[in-house]
Amino acid sequence: MIPTIAQDQVDRIVHNHHHNPFEVLGPHLVLQQDGETTWAIRAYLPSASAAWAIFPEERLEVPMVSVHHPHFFECIITRHEIANYQLRIQEGEHERVLYDPYAFRSPLVTDFDIHLFCEGNHHRIYEKLGAHLTEIEGVSGVYFAVWAPNARNVSVLGDFNYWDGRKHQMRKMDGGVWDLFIPGVKAGDPYKFEIKNWEGHIYEKSDPYGFQQEVRPKTASIVANLDHYQWSDNDWMDKRRHTAPLEQPVSVYEVHLGSWLHENFAFPGTHYDGTPAESVSVAELKPGTRFLTYKELADRLIPYVKEMGFTHVELLPVAEHPFDGSWGYQVIGYYAVTSRYGTPQDFMYFVDQCHQNGIGVIVDWVPGHFPKDGHGLAGFDGTCLYEHADPRKGEHKEWGTLIFNYGRNEVRNFLVANALFWFDKYHIDGIRVDAVASMLYLDYCRKDGEWLPNQYGGRENIEAADFLRQTNHLLFSYYPGVLSIAEESTAWPMVSWPTYVGGLGFNLKWNMGWMHDILDYFSMDPWFRQFHQNNVTFSIWYAFSENFMLALSHDEIVHGKSNMLGKVPGDEWQKFANLRCLYAYMFTHPGKKTLFMSMEFGQWSEWNVWGDLEWHLLQYEPHQKLKQFVTDLNQLYRNEPCLYTQDCRQEGFEWIDCSDNNHSVVSFVRWDKDYKDFVVVVCNFTPQPHSHYRVGVPKLGFYREVLNSDSRKYGGSNMGNLGGKWAEEWWFHDRPYSIDLCLPPLGVLVLKLDHAATAAASAEGDF
């Protein structure tokens, strides 16, 4: 047989140098005359000694012959059309039959997809790039597509081709996208992309758009289908779309799933839920200890969060990451939920169960940097593709990570679509964007000469700011009612303002100033607090310039900072009293709330990502009572609209007295949205009780004590006001009415006007 292909074309395929193997491989029309059509079918089969083209419907088998190379096969056949043929391959003593991937010539990524992607506006690009189970011409398989514009060649690797990059060479399309449909590949199959640069160097990369990855230390992506899970949260999702989150209670329990609780963990005395456990001397990780799965966490974590009264659970990053010790903040698989705890469907089940139990799910999202691991995004196609080439813009030396090139449309599209992806496929309710300040400033943690200014000579990263605006604008357009929270620690203006007025578009920002001030204040000996009243009151000066969240996060109880009990002074009683005082002030201060796991029951040790929380402490009364106090705080917060409906409006807060530094006492009023209901909060930040402490109030009547952090049931001294006090017509604090209170030591009182008692007394003429 005379070959229909030139030697140089065959050599390009054999040496994996062809940018479009479809030009050589598969069926090709070679002659058409007298109504007859002659086709050449070509295949490069590196491990085959013989091959046949099979036409099952006609029970026809055509032998193929080697041309120009022992493993390059060709046959000639005359017929009107070529469709659904198969290849029978002889490999040593074994034979197998498969469909020829190069017979499926029509790409699933369209020119319009590529156009949108290249301009940064393909909001569902994850449905096109990556690995997608599909059926073409009645044949099932997986369509692979990857962006690698500077690669010389790209191949798909997997068990299905013995990880041989010669067998499934991809085609380069416009925009630098490579694609190939491989019949017979199924869900659960691991794969990578083999990328060869123009110098001949080969890189094996996991899929940037892959939906699942192997469990570390393995690094391959896994073919996964995210569309088979049957959700049961329609009511939750519908309610969310019609809810204004800033007018709702938001009390967040921040969790690292891998260290909240392990399976086979020994608790001396009691379990986390208070049930008895076997008696051992110390809490220890037994042999065989493992992470809880997403489904097990749904069974254990969700009831705990619900019992505690939190409205949301915030998960430290659950996107795939190679190193447990990074806490998830060095992400490799931005579209892959980590396999440490189970499958994508398992995580969907976790979120679904949260919703059915009235709990929202917030996920930490990390678009600010990514690690240098060889199988990840770094140098993806042999060039600095996702990152900047210049380390003065492209590297965080402090963290040993690389920075995304936000000015490149395709990179920005990768990140914007990723944010939308988690809401689309996993029904999450919010993202907390990590390290926003590191994105916004070109000189972040850099010395002079180590950074490049923007085009105007400034230090602001204009491209990063535009990226954040685009992300938030689209997020709230597609998913109204969700949360987008910025961890931003500088004075960048209008972080939580809408994009249409020039803001970054977040709807909440962590109040880092409040956090630092209040922790500094509570770490002081109470006697010195009289000289630092400003630490408590200053936050109100700017509390309504942004939509703030008050967060006591994981960052505050690691790296030698001590856990919360270790931060506050005094003996054990005073430590717990200080902590109750701090939490009560936090929950009554304007702003949404976040507490990191272990803070709710008073763990002594710093958070350890490798271990478990010190659940055994709950066998001791002070820790039990602190946990009960946080539970009651959440209940009070959720039951009193005046504590949350106007968190972001100055009209919802009113000082009664912020200047009594001699006693280290502050008092204020929180109003609801309709200005009909309110609570009075009085905080005594010293261990010295104050009897006959008069506080001005807005109205006359009976003020019921709805919270006393010094109550005996919380481990306090039980000083208070016998359940409440009547206001008197006694002008005080520039108000016509006031109440005479007993302020407990290191205590916070929350008082509410009891309308029923007031009305009854008025009707009887006693008032």
Residue 656 φ/ψ, nearest 5 degrees? -90, -55
DSSP line for 251-271: EEEEE-HHHH-EEEEE-SSB-
Host H or E run for residue 364: strand 360-365
DSSP line for 81-94: ---S-EEEEEETTE
Q: Of the residues 194, 381, 429, 487, which is catalytic?
A: 487
d(CA 184, CA 187): 10
Number of H helices, E strands in the chain: 17, 37
d(CA 581, CA 684): 8
DSSP line for 145-200: EEE-TT-SEEEEEEGGGTT-TTTSBPEE-GGGEEEEEEET--TT-EEEEEEE-TTS
Q: Which residues of 153-186 are buried (b: 16+ CB within 10 A; e: fewer)?
A: bbbbbbebbebebbbbbbbbbebbbbbbbbbebe
d(CA 271, CA 265): 10
Query: Catalytic site residue 434?
Result: yes
Please say whether the beta carbons of 86 and 137 come within 8 A.
no
Residue 358 φ/ψ, nearest 5 degrees? 75, 25
Which amino acid is located at 211 in the chain?
A: F
How many residues make up the chain in this entry?
767
Query: Catalytic site residue 672?
Result: no
Residues 6+ apart with CB under 8 A from 469: 499, 503, 504, 505
Cis ω for the linkage preceding 287 (within 30 of 0): no
Q: Is 561 exposed, middle or buried (0-12, 13-18, 19+ CB in 10 A)?
A: middle
Phi-psi region of 257 (alpha: psi -120 to 50; beta: other; left: phi over 0): alpha
Q: Of the residues 189, 254, 434, 632, which is catalytic?
A: 434
Within 10 A of 358 (CB to CB), how many other CB atoms are there? 12
> Per residue, what are the HEC states of 204-241?
EECCCCCCCECCCCCCCEECCCCCCCCCCCHHHHHHHH
Tokens linked to 454: 């923007």
Catalytic residue numbers, as ranges:
434, 487
